[in-house]
Amino acid sequence: MPVRRLPQRHAVATAVLAAVSGVYSAPALAQAGGSAGVLERVEITAEKRLTLLDTTPSAISALSGSRLMESGATGLAEVVTLVPNMSFTTGYGASQLFIRGIGNVFFTAGGDPGVALYTDGAYISDQTSSNASLFDVQRVEVLRGPQGALYGRNATGGAMNLISARPTQDFKAQFGAALGQYGRRESEGFVSGGLGFASTSARLSYQVKELGGYTVNQLAGVRSGPVLAGGINTVGPDRLDDLSSRALRLQTLTDLGAGGTLRLIASNYRQDEAGPGNKQLVDPVTIPILLYNARPVVDPRATKSQGASNGVDVKSLQAVYERPLGQATLSVVASHRKSDADMFWDGDATEALMATTRFKTSSRDRSINIHLASGEGALQWLVGATSLQFDQRQDIQVDTQIPVGFLVPGQPLNVPFPGGVRFLLGGDVNTRSTAVYADLRYALNKQFALLAGLRSSRDTKEAQEYQTVDAFGLKGTGTPSASWSSTPGSLGFEATLARDTLAYGKLSRGFKSGAINLGALQGTAVRPETVNSTEIGFKTSFLERRGAFSAAVFSSNYRDMQVSQVGLASAILANASAAKINGLELELSLRPVAALTLSANLGLMDPKYTSFLNVDLRNGPGVTVDVSGRQLAQVSKQQASLSAEWTQNLWGMRATLRGDYAWRSKYYFTEFNTPDAEQAAYGTLNLGAVLRPHNGAWKLYAQLLNAGNSTAITSMNIASPVLGASRQVNYTPPRRMAVGATIDF
């Protein structure tokens, strides 16, 4: 992979992204010949070529895999707290990443995320199975802001790439284990080395995770019959918010000669447990109260569940081929990913036999990306092409009792509709996407360079859908389809203003593919989301590279922003007319002495709808509301984090103490910004300690996560008025402790 670097004197703000994002597991010292305590520089591949983080003219965070493991980050939810203006939520098992206010607002088939997620350079389409465990990760790279040229479709908020640790010719092995509260038992390790033939090395890594669950079930062990005839008999689980997963990855790396390499990656991930708590919030009047005088539990750490299960199975094969061609480098990434997810839960969270919901999703994701990148020089270029085929099947079944008065005016509200109501909807959706793209950098001189990128893409979606509600006399099918062409891209510059100081600016255009509301029988597809964004950034280091500061100012205008709406039995996508997000990101890191690293970041945004009329089906059915000027759903206006890390030599050992505090201001779960869909500002404090001998083969670590025991709602899904407009939520994990150890062989 070619390297694009500015001269060494341009040592810019690596420390911000290192300390705040947890790039290093201990304060880094200078290389031989340098002064102790300076901040190290990090190599990244976010621009599809090897560059230095501090000289890359873009807002990028790079997170170390070992640091994430030591700090207790076990999934995407923990990773995003380390990145400015980034957040995570989930809806019915689907991952919903947000960067700079834009993300995945949809959790059913037919839609796409606003943050493009990759593993080792391969795009992940299926968001219902994307939050697989992080294990044996070398690095996580996060690009903030629209990435239309290099990453193309569905990167209107940004992109994220999970990079696995590579095989080594030298023998290396590691075994680790951790124990903690709530039945936490984990083990993770790898073995890596040469195979002794064909210049091939291999790496086998694994992870096993068990968690008893944070939410106590007051109906544990209770057997219940189906809500409706032909439904599922259930048994109440002991706890929810539990986890039981197994992950395995096998890699080979072959030297093909003449600088060429072939890396093959095969992985399997399985998850099987009760799943998320999916608690119902208490409302004055709900269907369970009307029909059975049954109420959900108020305590956020307790629930009433008559049955729940969550199964995920992901298998993937990937090939990464690289070969120099003269001064250029050819790179090919091919991927095949198959996933199955099956989620079932008690829909009303009461002792009443009233509602159950099941989401069953399967998919095949096949993609290939080929690009050719030039070597160093005044003109650096990269050209490529990509093709993706994504086939997804989803079936949703909701069995529920509904007051007859909800369906027949004037009838009683305390008598269920005879036979109940069963909603069946879903089908198949097939996505095809092809694109060609180019990225250019032309250095006018040593201080100034021009940047440009362009992508031409074509997306097509076709669906075969159904919707059946026998109680309403509905039984229909549809074959909606649509195609969209787009040309996202960017123009920009980078300038060396002074020693160790870099400035950059860019104009970007991003594109998010249109969507089909599978099972809604709408006929008309949801329009694509587009964005025009302006960003100016600044990076500098000071105190002889013991301190660093960076800033980015951006303004993004969105047209036809896709938003989640309440549907008959599940959420659907719709278009807001327009939205605008202005923001500022500040990152600061300081190492006053070699043993101490202090860091902070601040993200400020003004995320608002600028033109959007909609109906609040929960609070005012039939009344149109102008939400222009209101805060975007799922997004905070302010986010901040503070970190401190102290390393000291004790009795021949190296001890590290670390603290990370992350805070975000209030946010809303709907565009109406009503109090019943609001989460107040909150913060979480994570503490950690690591002890290891100098040049030793083992280390011990301890974690205290959410030390202040903050309880906040992380996700909310509002049901259709036909289903009582109830609010289903999930909460932050409680305070929890764990200890662990690793040993190297």
pLDDT tens digits, 675-712: 999 999 999 999 999 999 988 899 999 999 999 999 99
- Provide mean pLDDT across the span 39-43: 77
Closest CA to 574 of 605, 545, 606, 617: 617
Residue 216's φ and ψ, nearest 5 degrees, are -75, 135
pLDDT for 470: 93
Cα gap 645→661, rounded to integer Å: 12
Give the chain's mean pLDDT.
89
Cα gap 537→17, rounded to integer Å: 14
How far apart, in Å, are the Cα atoms of 466 and each of 351, 474, 481, 513, 580?
32, 10, 14, 22, 36
Closest CA to 514 of 522, 525, 523, 498: 525
**35 CB-near residues (< 8 Å, 6+ apart):** 544
Whether the pLDDT of residue 27 is over 60: the answer is no
Hey, what amino acid is at 313?
D
Cα gap 738→56, rounded to integer Å: 37
Q: Where are the beta strands (DSSP E) in 19-76?
A: 43-44, 50-52, 60-64
User: Residue 126 in contact with residue 338, Cβ under 8 Å?
Assistant: no
> Would you tell me how many other CB atoms lie within 10 Å of the CB of residue 695?
6
Domain segments of the chain as ranges: 3-744
Closest CA to 533 of 489, 577, 565: 489
Closest CA to 97 of 66, 51, 143: 143
Whether the pLDDT of residue 28 is over 80: the answer is no
Per-residue pLDDT band for 95 (boundaries 50, 70, 90) equals confident
Whether the pLDDT of residue 7 is over 60: the answer is no
Give percent of the chain with pLDDT exceeding 70: 94
Measured in whole angstroms, how far is the alpha carbon of residue 175 from the centre of its chain?
27
Cα gap 610→608, rounded to integer Å: 6
Whether the pLDDT of residue 152 is over 90: the answer is no
**83 CB-near residues (< 8 Å, 6+ apart):** 21, 61, 63, 99, 142, 144
Cα gap 117→27, rounded to integer Å: 30
- Provide mean pLDDT across the span 592-607: 93
- Under CATH, domain 3-744 is a member of which superfamily? TonB-dependent receptor, beta-barrel domain (2.40.170.20)
Closest CA to 435 of 378, 492, 360, 370: 370
Helix (H), strand (E) at residue 404: helix 404-407
Which comes out higher in pLDDT, residue 650 or 331? 331
Per-residue pLDDT band for 133 (boundaries 50, 70, 90) equals low
Per-residue pLDDT band for 43 (boundaries 50, 70, 90) equals confident
pLDDT for 454: 96
The 3-state DSSP class for residue 88 equals strand
How far apart, in Å, are the Cα atoms of 278 and each of 313, 351, 713, 718?
21, 15, 11, 12
In the structure encoding, which two tokens stand for residue 271, read together? 């998850």
pLDDT for 569: 66
How far apart, in Å, are the Cα atoms of 316 and each of 115, 215, 387?
21, 32, 17
Strand partners, 693: 653
pLDDT for 458: 96
In the structure encoding, which two tokens stand for residue 350, read together? 């009461």
- Provide mean pLDDT across the span 438-445: 96
pLDDT for 23: 38
The answer to which of 40-44, 97-101, 355-359, 496-500 has the lowest mean pLDDT is 40-44
The answer to which of 27-36, 77-86, 233-242 has the lowest mean pLDDT is 27-36
Q: Where are the beta strands (DSSP E) in 470-595?
A: 474-478, 481-486, 489-498, 501-512, 529-542, 547-559, 562-565, 572-575, 578-593
Cα gap 537→546, rounded to integer Å: 21
Whose structure tokens read 């979480």?
684
Dump pLDDT digits (tens) for 371-389.
Answer: 999 998 999 999 999 999 9
Q: Where are the beta strands (DSSP E) in 326-447?
A: 328-346, 355-373, 379-400, 421-443
Measured in whole angstroms, how far is the alpha carbon of residue 229 from the centre of its chain?
38
End-to-end CA distance of the chain: 30
Dump pLDDT digits (tens) for 214-269.
Answer: 999 999 999 998 999 989 899 999 999 999 999 999 999 999 999 999 999 999 99
Whether the pLDDT of residue 26 is over 50: the answer is no
User: Residue 267 in contact with residue 245, Cβ under 8 Å?
Assistant: no
Model-level pTM greater than 0.85?
Answer: yes
In the structure encoding, which two tokens stand for residue 579, read together? 């939205």
Cα gap 386→64, rounded to integer Å: 28
pLDDT for 132: 66
Cα gap 535→544, rounded to integer Å: 28
- Provide mean pLDDT across the span 620-637: 92
Give percent of the chain with pLDDT exceeding 90: 71
Cα gap 573→570, rounded to integer Å: 10
Per-residue pLDDT band for 205 (boundaries 50, 70, 90) equals very high
Cα gap 633→582, rounded to integer Å: 15
The 3-state DSSP class for residue 48 equals coil
**310 CB-near residues (< 8 Å, 6+ apart):** 93, 271, 272, 273, 274, 275, 276, 342, 343, 344
Of the segments 13-17, 447-451, 650-654, which one has the largest average pLDDT value?
A: 447-451
Cα gap 659→704, rounded to integer Å: 10
Burial call 475-489: b when 16+ CB within 10 Å, e when fewer:
eeebebebebebebb
Which comes out higher in pLDDT, residue 132 or 107? 107
- How many CA atoms lie within 13 Å of 12's alpha carbon, on the beta-carbon side? 32
pLDDT for 1: 52
How far apart, in Å, are the Cα atoms of 24 and each of 41, 317, 385?
11, 30, 35
The 3-state DSSP class for residue 472 equals helix
pLDDT for 210: 96
User: Residue 451 in contact with residue 506, Cβ under 8 Å?
Assistant: yes
pLDDT for 20: 34
The 3-state DSSP class for residue 650 equals strand
Which comes out higher in pLDDT, residue 245 or 33? 245
Cα gap 691→650, rounded to integer Å: 9
Cα gap 80→707, rounded to integer Å: 18
Q: Checking DSSP bridges between strand 158-164 and strand 115-119, what pairing results, if any?
A: parallel
Burial call 91-125: b when 16+ CB within 10 Å, e when fewer:
bbbbbbbbbbbbbbbbbbbbbbbbbbbbbbbbbbb
In the structure encoding, which two tokens stand for residue 727, read together? 């609010």
Dump pLDDT digits (tens) for 722-742.
Answer: 888 899 999 999 999 999 999
How far apart, in Å, are the Cα atoms of 704 and each of 212, 415, 734?
17, 50, 11
Cα gap 20→591, rounded to integer Å: 12
